[in-house]
Structure 1
Amino acid sequence: MNLNGQWNFAFDPGKSGVEQGWHKDPSGFDKMITVPFCMESKRSGIEYIDFMPMVWYHRTVDIPDNWRGQRIFLHFGAVDYECRVWVNGRQVGRHYGGSSSFSFEITEALKEKR
């Protein structure tokens, strides 16, 4: 499943999003960004070119029923420079480095449809 497209987005200039619980409640994310474009790019819809120490992305994803019972991984082509990933409020991984691909298994953090 390709997750490129529109994502909720927020700037975190004070790097306080973790302490404020943004990984559990992204309701304050006030912008949209088009992935896979970086926030500096016009095509991202953000086009912010000044330094920003931390930003946040959020998206809801429905896992197909025919994936049930399989291990599910979230793959990244690259992230600059530090990436922490939460699924349903649970941290599933952390990566450092700007030009390498990486993956996190998210199976245990997924929720059943209701």
Structure 2
Amino acid sequence: MNRVLASRLLLGLLAVQVVVPAVSLATTSTPRHYAWSMFVESSTDYRYVGETADGTHVELDPAEVGRPWSSVHYGPQTPQRLCARHPELSSVTRFYDAEQESVQPCG
């Protein structure tokens, strides 16, 4: 490998290391700027609220669905499992901190 090719590969690698985090930082919401650190302990407070057909809101405990879903707060699996545990619900809403993150319809 000659020096020109090696320097181009090094510059390309450095560019990727700058561009990927910059794009992630610009396109994700504030608490999730560093999405690649999903396995790091977080101070974010997640909570789940179910809604019944008559509009009643019920606080849900993600511990009901067991591990690992009680502590994995990304993707639709935890709300889907809460829907399955509570057939009376029409939807499950996931909140992070005080903001609504997603609504999962049940049924």
Q: Is TM more than 0.5 here?
A: no
When normalised by structure 2's length, the TM-score is: 0.29
Greater C-alpha Rg: 2
Higher helix fraction (1 or 2): 2
Higher strand fraction (1 or 2): 1
When normalised by structure 1's length, the TM-score is: 0.28
